[in-house]
């Protein structure tokens, strides 16, 4: 069967190891902050070459912990692009204001040129304390960090990398999420590296921020558990999820390679058969883990329909750009304010993507799209 993300094929590969790992936890009974949690943090930090890794309860909480560590609150503003809702949600949850920046039409990532414009506008017109930028590595593709970091430095802003979709992607030899001051990722089951529930992690080189985030993750504790020094969260990762991730991390490098192969096959077939789809542009200096394989199609909704008729699942990320969502109405954005994000949300389409997708499955997907496009000519 052709699934959008086939988690079961992966599970079949490592099921005995996962069962043994969970059995070890049932034996030692340390369900919260058990040894597997610290083992995982060490191995994740090693994997991305980061000084600190702080595991936590979800990707959303990873972002929230980072913003709490920076003391974000009312009166503050944080820049964010076209993304999943959670990125902007955490800014608003803390009483600060998300300021949306349009994306680049080829990468769907935040457009550095437009960051400057938005900063200028905030300085001139708004009574807001602009504190940071949350670039998102959308669909697994790293954002343009050289430019983003330069702008951030010039304007004294922090960079919080939202690599929820991009754990293990590479930007100029550095592994995501280590490109900003703090990086956040998610281990939601459908992410490239996922556990069997919710999970996330924060990465940083900064000792002080790491200490604060470790405290925030456990109700703002100090050295001891009951001498709380700040308001925090119950934001820990379960020991069982850490154990699942330890097993999955072992095969992750191979899975990243398999993802490259799948993406390459999609790309080759689309190019060689002159199919009218625009592919997310991955430059030679980056490697994407392809959380999604996204294309833009002029006739997106018809293609979705044809794929469905052929039992091929697809998805739209995201049908509405955040600045036009009802929940952000009070921010005063209108249709036309972020034209690229608006256009992309009309045409974007995610095709099935996982490391175990087979060549003939890819061929059958492309075949349906070709037939549909031929019928329109």
Ligand X SMILES: *Cc1c(COP(=O)(O)O)cnc(C)c1O
Q: Which residues bind ligand X (CB under 6 A)?
A: 58-60, 83-84, 86-87, 136, 162, 164-165, 186, 188, 198, 200
**Cα of 50 vs its chain's centroid, Å:** 18
State the DSSP string of 19-47. HHHHHHHHHH---BS-HHHHHHHHHHHHH
Q: For residue 202, list its beta bridge partners.
A: 54, 184
Task: Considering the complex, state which of residue 177 and residue 352 has its C-beta at the smaller distance from ligand X.
Answer: 177
Report, in Å, the least distance between residue 244 CB and ligand X. Answer: 14
User: Helix (H, G, I), strand (E, B), or coil: what is residue 85?
Assistant: helix
* Dihedral sign from CA coordinates of 85, 91, 97, 98: negative
State the DSSP string of 209-265. HHHHHHHHHBTT--SSTT---S---B-PPBHHHHHHHHHHHHHHHHHHHHHHHHHHH
User: How many CA atoms, within 13 angstroms, populate the side-chain half-sphere of residue 247?
Assistant: 21
Task: Considering the complex, state which of residue 171 and residue 188 has its C-beta at the smaller distance from ligand X.
Answer: 188
Closest to 96 in 3D by CA, of 136, 133, 128: 128
Report, in Å, the least distance between residue 90 CB and ligand X. Answer: 8
Closest to 79 in 3D by CA, of 103, 102, 99, 63: 99
Task: Considering the complex, state which of residue 101 and residue 136 has its C-beta at the smaller distance from ligand X.
Answer: 136
Report, in Å, the least distance between residue 340 CB and ligand X. Answer: 17
User: Helix (H, G, I), strand (E, B), or coil: what is residue 110?
Assistant: strand
Task: Considering the complex, state which of residue 50 and residue 185 has its C-beta at the smaller distance from ligand X.
Answer: 185
Task: Considering the complex, state which of residue 183 and residue 200 has its C-beta at the smaller distance from ligand X.
Answer: 200
Kindly report the backbone phi and psi dihedral angles of residue 261, in degrees, each rounded to the nearest multiple of 5, phi listed first: -65, -45
Q: CA–CA separation, 247 vs 57, rounded Å?
A: 18
Report, in Å, the least distance between residue 372 CB and ligand X. Answer: 28
Residues 6+ apart with CB under 8 A from 22: 240, 243, 244
Please check whether residue 313 is in contact with residue 307, taking contact to mean a CB–CB distance below 8 angstroms. yes
Task: Considering the complex, state which of residue 58 and residue 269 has its C-beta at the smaller distance from ligand X.
Answer: 58
Report, in Å, the least distance between residue 190 CB and ligand X. Answer: 8
Please check whether residue 51 is in contact with residue 205, taking contact to mean a CB–CB distance below 8 angstroms. yes
Report, in Å, the least distance between residue 87 CB and ligand X. Answer: 5
Report, in Å, the least distance between residue 238 CB and ligand X. Answer: 13
Task: Considering the complex, state which of residue 83 and residue 314 has its C-beta at the smaller distance from ligand X.
Answer: 83
Report, in Å, the least distance between residue 198 CB and ligand X. Answer: 6
Task: Considering the complex, state which of residue 200 and residue 352 has its C-beta at the smaller distance from ligand X.
Answer: 200
């Amino acid at each position: 069967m052709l699934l959008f993300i086939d988690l079961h094929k992966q599970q079949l590969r490592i099921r005995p190891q996962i069962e043994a790992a969970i059995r070890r936890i049932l034996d030692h009974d340390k369900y919260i902050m058990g040894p597997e949690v610290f083992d995982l943090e060490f191995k994740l930090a090693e994997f991305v070459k980061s000084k600190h890794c702080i595991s936590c309860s979800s990707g959303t909480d990873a972002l929230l912990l980072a913003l709490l560590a920076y003391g974000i609150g009312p009166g503050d503003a944080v820049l964010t692009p076209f993304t999943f809702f959670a990125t902007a949600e955490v800014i608003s949850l803390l009483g600060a204001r998300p300021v949306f920046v349009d994306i680049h039409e080829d990468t769907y990532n935040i457009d550095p040129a437009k960051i400057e414009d938005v900063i200028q506008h905030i300085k001139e017109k708004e009574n807001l304390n602009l504190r940071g930028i949350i670039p998102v590595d959308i669909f697994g593709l790293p954002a343009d960090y050289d430019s983003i970091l330069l702008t951030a430095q010039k304007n004294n802003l922090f960079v919080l990398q939202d690599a929820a979709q991009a754990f293990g992607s590479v930007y100029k030899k550095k592994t995501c999420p280590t490109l900003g001051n703090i990086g956040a990722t998610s281990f939601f089951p459908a992410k490239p590296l996922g556990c069997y529930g919710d999970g996330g992690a924060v990465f940083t080189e900064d000792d002080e921020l790491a200490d604060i985030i470790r405290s925030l993750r456990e109700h703002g504790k100090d050295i001891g558990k009951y001498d709380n020094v700040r308001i925090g969260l119950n934001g820990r990762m379960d020991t069982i999820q850490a154990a699942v991730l330890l097993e999955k991390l072992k095969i992750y490098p191979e899975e990243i390679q398999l993802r490259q192969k799948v993406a390459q096959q999609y790309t080759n077939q689309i190019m060689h058969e002159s199919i009218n789809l625009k592919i997310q542009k991955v430059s030679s200096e980056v490697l994407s883990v392809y959380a999604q394989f996204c294309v833009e199609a002029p006739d997106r909704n018809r293609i979705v329909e044809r794929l469905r008729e052929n039992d091929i699942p697809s998805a739209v990320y995201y049908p509405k750009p955040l600045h036009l969502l009802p929940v952000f109405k009070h921010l005063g954005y209108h249709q036309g304010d972020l034209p690229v994000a608006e256009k992309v949300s009309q045409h974007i389409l995610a095709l099935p993507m996982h490391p175990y997708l087979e060549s003939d499955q890819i061929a059958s997907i492309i075949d349906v799209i070709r037939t549909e496009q031929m019928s329109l000519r």
